[in-house]
Amino acid sequence: MRFFNTTGPVVAADHYCIPPLERLDLNEVRRFIRDKRYFVLHAPRQTGKTSALLALRDLLNAEGDYRCVYVNVEGAQAMREDVERAMQVILGALASRARSMGDEFLPKVWSGILAEFGPGALDEALTRWAEATPKPLVLLIDEIDSLIGDTLLTVLRQLRAGYDRRPAGFPQSVVLCGVRDVRDYRIQSTAENAIIAGGSAFNIKARSLRLGDFSRDEVIALLGQHTEETGQVFTSDALELIWRQTQGQPWLVNALADETCFYGEAAEDRRIPITADAIRDAQEQLILRRETHLDQLADKLQEERVRRVVEPLLSGAEDSDFSTRDLEYVHDLGLIAPDNPLRIANPIYAEIVPRELTYAAQVGLNEDTAWYVNADGSLNVVKLLTEFQAFFREHSEHWVARFQYQEAGPQLLLQAFLQRIVNSGGRIEREYGLGRMRTDLLIVWPQGEQTRKIVIECKILHKSLEQTIAEGLEQTAEYMDRCDAEAGHLVIFDRREGRRWADKVFHDCRTSRSGVKIDIWGM
């Protein structure tokens, strides 16, 4: 039985998969290779880059017009800026890949070339290899951006140095593959005591290709392979939820499907359909387990250039003076969507970001869900927000100062408080983004056979209090209608300096223009 792959390149015999070459513009790739171009393939981690390179290698070798070799240079990362030792790792890996294809030339000569040429051995090795190979050589270099400082500079410059000798005396085509486009590298050279732009070190690049996420049709086709082979169906709601929550991010799609199809009851009995509830449970398990893919993403939130982009999204800022480099970097990480308006790439990432940023706060809060559950099993949100209001008055200055993302501190602290309570029985859905001037929170709480929905709208007081309330009432009512929520609460954070807590803290109840009663909380 095949299964959904969440680790390493796909193998069609073992994994459900979208054929990797179908995700590339293969005609364009062929043209670049035919025209002796050097180009870049980049995409966020675990989107299928390596699978695409390996499939391209196999295709070109099967057709017989080229000798195509793939190499992963990540092993040289450990050598950092010790260029000669890094070159030894790279040439050794390249020779091993050549040997596995039955090419014995490079395995026999690379160590001697390294001894003679030292850090410059890559240029000479590729020259001799191209001269000795009867077919034009095509080189696919994976994880190029894992190399560090002078090691990366040396590799890029040697590839550039041999460019004029192709194809008889150097590879006809070279593909550099990594998370980022080579033009965006800013390489710290210890030897030159300078920052070198990747574009200047490798100015022979013809184009940069970006491997995208799955389309909606590809997600449906991938999941349909499991149904076809096992008879187990995904309900229409489950299919829609997988697409909505992942937006086609390949690892997320495979991880949700793997969790639901191969663990628990559904793995034992293929007659059990995969439902939307099962997908939601799987999503929560992936987040709680801090799976490697999600943990790596969360780790990037600590970087200052990521904070400069993500913080305005969390706070709902009206606008922000983003630098182009920061936006390109965060986009290359796959953290933000490529289209407008600026937003987190998918709802699962949007869930992870505030939960990761508030994890320490959640652990430090001494709150018990049972305190806020009524005798009939319903969640007492008025009691919960009353308690948070007192907590915020007493502790907010201390807690917000601890957040790296201080501009979004009040919203994050409320979300930490809610997450601590709701984790034990329900879930929170979040909507936030640049220009929203608010954060929408939806508490989904099971009560017996029913599901209760409560909206909490968070706003920072930017205008007068009455203007903010009037605007917030309509936004809250609109969100309640869209979510079919039975109750709504508007939380207004007053961050103006010099204001007394006695003036900021209040609880009121008002009615929107559409006749919806909404609780208002000042903090």
- Taking 90 as the threshold, does the pLDDT of residue 215 lie above it? yes
3-state secondary structure 46-63: CCCHHHHHHHHHHHHHHH
Angle at 344 between CA 262 and CA 141, to 5 degrees: 70
Residue 54 or 367, more confident: 54
Q: Would the pLDDT of 201 be above 90? A: no
216-289 classified as CATH 1.10.8: yes
Q: Is the pLDDT of residue 235 over 90?
A: yes
DSSP 188: E
Is 69 within 8 Å of 101 (Cβ atoms)? Answer: yes
3-state secondary structure of 133: coil
Confidence of residue 226 (pLDDT cuts 50, 70, 90): very high
Write out pLDDT tens, residues 128-161.
999 999 999 999 999 999 999 999 999 999 999 9
Enumerate the CATH 1.10.8 domain ranges in the chain, comma separated: 216-289
Distance, in Å, from the CA atom of 199 to the CA atom of 192, rounded to the nearest integer, reads: 17
Supply the pTM of this predicted model.
0.92
- What whole-number distance in Å separates Cα of residue 49 and Cα of residue 163? 24
List, for residues 331-368, the tens digit of each pLDDT value.
Answer: 999 999 987 788 999 999 999 999 999 888 888 787 78
Residue 170 has pLDDT above 90, yes or no: yes
CATH 3.40.50.300 boundaries in the chain: 19-210
Q: What is the architecture of the domain spanning 19-210?
A: 3-Layer(aba) Sandwich (3.40)
Query: Distance between CA 495 and CA 297 in Å, rounded?
Result: 30
Residue 117: the pLDDT is: 97
Which pLDDT tens digit goes with each residue over 469-486?
999 999 999 999 999 999
287-310: buried (b, 16+ CB within 10 Å) or exposed (e) per residue?
A: beeebebbeebbebbeeebbbbbb
